Structure 1
Amino acid sequence: MSTADIKKNAQDKMAKSLETLRADLAKVRTGRAHVGILDHVMVDYYGNPTAINQVANLTLIDARTIGVTPFEKKMGTTIEKAIRDADLGLNPSAQGDTIRVPTPPLTEERRKEMVKLCKSEAEDAKIAVRNIRRDANEQLKKLVKDKSISEDDERRASDDVQKLTDKAIADIDKIVAEKEKEVLTV
């Protein structure tokens, strides 16, 4: 394995860590409604737990209301019960074929909890990035030990990995700052 392969591998893994952070933060509730908060809701579909987006169409009715339109009308009450039981603090109500899911405004205390959760997710992502850096540096040291590369090459590659790490950490800080701002905006 060459130094370029190690750097590319580290860069790919860091990019995956950033994507995971974005996905995790997308699930954090803000003051506005978004269909992503229902992503992990599972509905009993003929005895099989099924993701809600597989049995219904999810849309935004307005800034605070999600519309859930079941593909099969008889699934309405089952979907409504699944949303209620999902422990999201949501209270769906059926209106014709559509289930309206109003998202209550967040209290100041709840917003602060959400910010703490965001910071915790960010810290987990930073730890993952640092572990990737450590693994890459260990691979580089192994190449030096095997005499595949010189110590100068190892130093240059290590510096490049550190630059990748610094960029990933800066991106994490930026992503979390944006999410915090979104959460704290009333």
Structure 2
Amino acid sequence: MQEEVEFILDHCKEKMAAAVEHLEKELVHIRAGKANPAMLDGVHVEYYGSQTPLNQVANVSTPDARTIAVQPWEKNLIPQIEKAIQNANLGLNPDNNGEIIRINIPVLTEERRRGLVKQAHQEGENAKVSVRGARKDSNDSLKKLQKDGLSEDIEKDAEAEVQKMTDEFGKKIDALVQAKEEDIMTI
């Protein structure tokens, strides 16, 4: 029985960690007015008949705080890369000089910053919902084990451990969202 309890706790921790990891990935895509190569992570380019991630067909860098430079390894890919960036609906306008594609990141307005902060808080709330879902699943599994003969003391201790994990991951989520909010609101 103790092994099953440990398995439930480990599984719960994995689910909660996955929620935080997903939040980190989502927050990277919320742009804070600064250029970041990760902004183009979701862009895929048609390359010899298959959809390939941009960073596998080009070097993506940030020469300064407001510019992303994309240097394709094959010059004939420039039109496909430009098209892929525009089709990704990131609100970015690529500009090429025949060798490098430059993307200027516009300065954010106060209204847009507030909208991005709201979006970051929404992503944080989604992560918290996932964490609470993992807590509920774990507690339900522990209650089933109690019906199958697990002592009530062990079940209550395990539930307390699940709640402790929930609180810890909730704090991590709050810290990530707070850091992103500060990043967005910094001009």
What TM-score results when the alignment is normalised by the length of structure 1? 0.95
What amino acid does structure 2 have at the position aligned with 1:167?
A: E
- Which ranges of 4 or more aligned residues in structure 1 deviate by more than 4 Å? none
Report the CA distance between 1:150 and its aligned residue: 0.5
Residue 2 of structure 1 aligns to a residue in which SS?
helix
User: Which moved further from structure 2: 2-11 or 45-54?
Assistant: 45-54
CA distance in 2, matches of 1:154, 1:86: 48
Report the CA distance between 1:46 and its aligned residue: 3.1
Report the CA distance between 1:96 and its aligned residue: 4.3
Residue 90 of structure 2 aligns to a residue in which SS?
coil
2:42 alignment counterpart = 40
Report the CA distance between 1:10 and its aligned residue: 0.7
The reply to whether residue 108 of structure 1 matches residue 113 of structure 2 is: no
2:142 alignment counterpart = 140
CA distance in 1, matches of 2:38, 2:101: 16
Report the CA distance between 1:48 and its aligned residue: 2.6
2:83 alignment counterpart = 81
What amino acid does structure 1 have at the position aligned with 2:184?
A: V
The reply to whether residue 55 of structure 1 matches residue 80 of structure 2 is: no
Question: What do the CA deviations read for 1:131-182 (whole angstroms, capped 9, x no partner)?
Answer: 10011111111111001x2001111110011000010111100110000110
CA distance in 2, matches of 1:69, 1:136: 48
2:158 alignment counterpart = 157
2:68 alignment counterpart = 66
CA distance in 1, matches of 2:62, 2:25: 19
CA distance in 1, matches of 2:174, 2:164: 15
What TM-score results when the alignment is normalised by the length of structure 2? 0.94
Identity of matched residues, %: 46
User: Which moved further from structure 2: 39-48 or 4-13?
Assistant: 39-48
The CA RMSD over aligned residues, in Å, is 1.2
1:168 alignment counterpart = 169
